[in-house]
Chain A
Amino acid sequence: MRSLFFYSKIYFRYLSQYLKSRLEYRADVLIQIVSALSAQIGTLIFVLTIFNHIPDINGWSYGEILFIYGFSQTSMALFSMFFSNLINLGRLYILDGNLDRVLLRPLPPLLQIIIERLDIGSFSTLALGFGALSYAAVKLNLSFSYHLLFFFVVLIFSAVLILGGVVLILVSLTFWVKDPTGAIAWPLMTIRDFAKYPITIYSAPLQVFLSWILPLAFTSFYPATLFLERTDYIFHVRMTPLIALLTWGIGLFIWKRGLQRYESAGS
């Protein structure tokens, strides 16, 4: 077992190499930022427009909705920043045979895949999400303490891990699929939309699904309620880090099993 120091050194090496290769095409970086922003700005405009006409959605005020949106956007942006390369597993790694290269190197294969690429566009969505979050926090006059700041960091971290874990579970299943185009994880990018709003607006079965089967509510709504001082969901808030551990446990298990099944596409 090598030290954490070693891995973080490797991580920053990979990162700086990747950034260097990307920054060679400055315009490309700008394009990614514009593209990521245009894909995400819609929901924000939607919320801003709707609240010109109504005082609340299902008992949630403008500030609260914006806070939940900001929380979900922040965790999603951090997820794309760190784990988005997982989605390429099917096409780029299994189909194109890049996994062979990864397996030959003396580093854990999963770690290599995760750190090989970084979604530059997500810097802009992170700014958007964090902006919405801070604006909502100021508007709602939320109380601040170092306690809460600590919880915030833990909960955001857990939310990002849950998203990463769920995607890891889904993409690891590609090892069992004949046509590994990575399509399995793809509808998930749409399902994430469910997490942008309070889950109380959905029907009961859907709420159960989003909490206990595909735990997306734990990446935005439940953790956000802690800061909104809604005490009904304190159980779920406490569960959030546990769910993060659980999804990673399952994900790693399936990943290991899948990797054993892997037969190179090579010739």
Chain B
Amino acid sequence: MRVSILISLFVMENLRKSWRHLRIYIRFSKIRFVDKLSYRAHFFLVLTEYLLIVIVSYFLWKAILTDGRVIRGYSLKDMVTYVAIAGVFRFFINEFSGAISREMGGQYRTGELIMNLLKPVSYQLYIYFHAFGGILFHSVFRIVPVLTLWALLVGLTAPDHLAIFLTSLVLGALVHAGIAFLVGLTIFYVEDNSGILHATSAIIELLSGTLIPLVMYPAWLVSTMNYLPFRFIFYQPMEIYLGHLGKEAGIAVLCAQTVWVFALSTAGYFLFKNSIQKITIQGG
């Protein structure tokens, strides 16, 4: 408890100091957001697609958890909420990975990377914030409409500990950004990393909990996953949402997430520094 207050104070202090700095990066988010807005025509199509995914999983779980069956603490009522949020997040997570890893690959290939290296900003933060613009777009135009519709049509349970849930969601996005940045760096070592990207997004789908609540996996896998960062992307925030974790446990999750954010981003920072040494830009 006290540790978390200290950490948040530390973070706040630093954020205040670097506010002016941050404004530059927020611009990058804005660029991405406006960029995404130009694809408005697809809005209803994508919305339909999201809803379809959620509807399939809804009926599937309704058949699985019939007659009051409960699997590892998950009842049908929990799953109705879980599938709706997981359904929209599965797409969202894919897009977010793409906005980081695929974007890095694209910039590497087109040589745009070099233009960004010349700018007096951190490339890593630039990439992160650029992707956050996409998050904002998705939240406003995809996640909120689908979940509102779902709440009206089928019903959603309200989140427990809303503040902790939202914080853990943001930290989860940062954990994900850290992983995606590391995966994106593979472009420096292989000519074409799209296979790696696809495989990672499958791994993230399986291990972040958007496919199925992680506790339902076999015991050996569950215990392995405790040592991996993936569950913090979606599963842990969702456990807080559903009230499976109390307040104390929720705050412990936030601390663990913060540690992972720092670890992954630091690793990304040093690996990136190392990687740009071997960069070859074609053309000119």
Residues of chain A having any CB pair with chain B under 8 Å? 27-28, 30-32, 34-35, 38-39, 41-42, 45-46, 49-50, 52-54, 57-58, 179, 183, 186-187, 190-191, 193-194, 197, 201-203, 206
Taken together as a complex, chains A and B put the C-alpha atoms of A194 and B71 apart, in Å, by 23
* CB-CB nearest in chain B for A193: B56
Task: Report the minimum CB–CB distance from A8 to chain B (whole Å).
Answer: 33
A30-B195, A193-B53 given; 17 more Cβ-contact pairs under 8 Å: A28-B192, A31-B192, A31-B194, A34-B199, A45-B212, A46-B211, A49-B212, A49-B216, A54-B64, A183-B45, A193-B52, A194-B52, A194-B56, A201-B59, A201-B60, A201-B62, A201-B63
State the Cβ distance, A181 to closest chain B Cβ, in Å. Answer: 8
Q: Give the CA-CA distance A206 to B63 in the complex, in Å.
A: 15
Nearest chain A CB to B173 CB, angstrom units:
22
Is A190 in contact with B49, judged by CB distance below 8 angstroms? yes
Which residues of B does A touch, CB under 8 Å? Answer: 41-42, 45, 48-49, 52-53, 55-56, 59-60, 62-64, 66, 69, 71-72, 191-192, 194-195, 198-199, 201-202, 205-206, 211-212, 216-218
A34 with B59: in contact, given A49-B217, A50-B64 (CB under 8 Å)? Answer: no
Return the contact of A58 from the options B55, B66, B71, B192 (Cβ within 8 A): B66
B69 proximity list for chain A (CB < 8 A): 54
Which of B42, B45, B60, B206 sits near A45, CB closer than 8 Å?
A: B206
Q: Are B45 and A187 in contact (CB under 8 A)?
A: yes
Closest to A42 in B: B211
CB distance from A9 to the nearest CB of B (A): 34
Q: CB-CB < 8 A to A28: which residues of B?
A: 192
Q: Which residue on A lies nearest to B71, using beta carbons? A: A53
Cβ-closest chain B residue relative to A201: B63
With A31-B194, A35-B195 given, is the CB distance from A190 to B45 under 8 Å? no
CA distance A58 to B217 in the complex (A): 21
Question: Chain B contacts of A202 at CB under 8 A?
Answer: 59
23 CB contacts below 8 A, A to B, read A31-B198, A32-B195, A34-B198, A35-B194, A38-B199, A39-B198, A39-B202, A41-B202, A46-B211, A50-B64, A52-B216, A52-B218, A54-B64, A179-B41, A183-B45, A186-B45, A190-B52, A194-B52, A197-B56, A197-B59, A197-B60, A203-B59, A206-B55
A46 to B60, CA, bound (A): 11
Rounded to whole Å, the gap between the CB of B179 and the closest CB of chain A is: 16
The residue in chain A whose Cβ has the minimal distance to the Cβ of B202 is A38
Instruction: Considering the complex, give the chain B residue whose CB is closest to the CB of A28.
Output: B192
Secondary structure dominating the interface of B: helix
Please, how many angstroms separate the alpha-carbon atoms of A194 and B211 in the complex? 16
Point out the residues of chain B lying under 8 angstroms from A193, CB to CB: 52-53, 56
Give Cα A45 to B60, complex, Å.
14
The A interface, classified by DSSP as helix, strand, loop or mixed, is helix
Q: A34-B199, A183-B45 are in contact. Are A50 and B216 (CB under 8 A)?
A: yes
- Roughly how many angstroms separate A190 CA and B217 CA in the complex, as a whole number? 25
Residues of A within 8 A of B49 (CB): 186-187, 190
Is the pair A35, B198 in contact by a Cβ cutoff of 8 Å? yes
C-alpha spacing A201/B69, complex, angstroms: 16
Which of A39, A41, A206 meets B59, CB within 8 Å?
Answer: A206
Check if B63 sits within 8 Å of A58, measured CB to CB.
yes
User: Which residues from chain A contact B53 at a C-beta distance below 8 Å?
Assistant: 190, 193
